[in-house]
Amino acid sequence: MTSIYFAQVSNRVKIGRARDVAARLAQLQTGSSSPLRLVAVLDDVPESLERRLHQFFAADRLHGEWFQVSAPLASLMHHIRNGARPTSESAISHYASLTRHLHREDAELQKARGEACQSVRKAARSGRPWADVRAEYVAQGGVYEEAALSYERRYVNRDRVNRQRKRRSPTLHVSS
């Protein structure tokens, strides 16, 4: 039997196994420029649990045994810290299903954002006054409001600043 540990550095977490977690954490710390924080430990578990955890959170893998801290992974670590022992396939798959569900939602949200941005760009370039376009999309809310405000920050405000700079900058006339 071994221990599975979760060591965190900013928004990354290492899911590893060791017989002596304190010694392993000290080893890892010598190779890390940032302080490692031991977030959770599952003691006396089969070594195969580490591999299963890696498989279940594969969508969050950065490299090797390092993973992006996702909401499901953070939830798992929180439950372990509070005494839960999710060592069975079904207990771990509960957190993994959250991961798949959130990744599917992220993909759908990204697609919706892309479509909203295209729609805002098209409307802004149609010749309608920006104030009307902005009001229409802000009223729709959600990703459409985000897209309109993003477009405004990126293009409309930039164009206003450029026009102001042109008005202020003196024109140089070179006489020959």
In a domain, 16, yes or no: yes
In a domain, 116, yes or no: yes
Query: Looking at the structure, do residues 8 and 63 belong to the same domain, yes or no?
Result: yes
Query: Looking at the structure, do residues 82 and 112 belong to the same domain, yes or no?
Result: no
Query: Looking at the structure, do residues 160 and 130 belong to the same domain, yes or no?
Result: yes
In a domain, 161, yes or no: yes
Query: Looking at the structure, do residues 117 and 68 belong to the same domain, yes or no?
Result: no
Cβ proximity of 5 and 67 under 8 Å: no
Query: Looking at the structure, do residues 65 and 136 belong to the same domain, yes or no?
Result: no
The residue behind tokens 């299963």 is: 52
Task: Collapse the DSSP code of 159 into the 3-class scheme (helix H, G, I; strand E, B; otherwise coil) and give the result.
Answer: helix
In a domain, 158, yes or no: yes
Please tell me the predicted confidence (pLDDT) of residue 96: 59
In a domain, 63, yes or no: yes
Per-residue tens of pLDDT for the chain, all 176 residues? 789 999 998 889 999 999 999 999 999 988 888 888 999 999 988 888 899 899 888 888 999 999 998 888 888 888 888 888 877 777 776 665 655 555 565 667 777 878 888 998 899 889 888 888 888 888 887 778 888 888 887 777 666 666 676 766 555 555 65
First to last CA, the chain: 90
Domain that holds residue 159: 108-167
In a domain, 35, yes or no: yes
Domains identified in the chain, total number: 2
Query: Looking at the structure, do residues 15 and 78 belong to the same domain, yes or no?
Result: yes
Query: Looking at the structure, do residues 70 and 134 belong to the same domain, yes or no?
Result: no
Please tell me the predicted confidence (pLDDT) of residue 139: 86
Query: Looking at the structure, do residues 81 and 136 belong to the same domain, yes or no?
Result: no
Please tell me the predicted confidence (pLDDT) of residue 25: 92
- Rounded to 5°, angle at Cα 60 from 12 and 26: 30
Please tell me the predicted confidence (pLDDT) of residue 12: 92
In a domain, 53, yes or no: yes
Query: Looking at the structure, do residues 23 and 80 belong to the same domain, yes or no?
Result: yes
In a domain, 98, yes or no: no
Q: How far apart are CA 142 and CA 131, in angstroms?
A: 18
Query: Looking at the structure, do residues 7 and 83 belong to the same domain, yes or no?
Result: yes
Q: How far apart are CA 33 and CA 9, in angstroms?
A: 10
Q: How far apart are CA 8 and CA 12, in angstroms?
A: 6
Task: Collapse the DSSP code of 15 into the 3-class scheme (helix H, G, I; strand E, B; otherwise coil) and give the result.
Answer: strand
Query: Looking at the structure, do residues 67 and 118 belong to the same domain, yes or no?
Result: no
Query: Looking at the structure, do residues 41 and 74 belong to the same domain, yes or no?
Result: yes
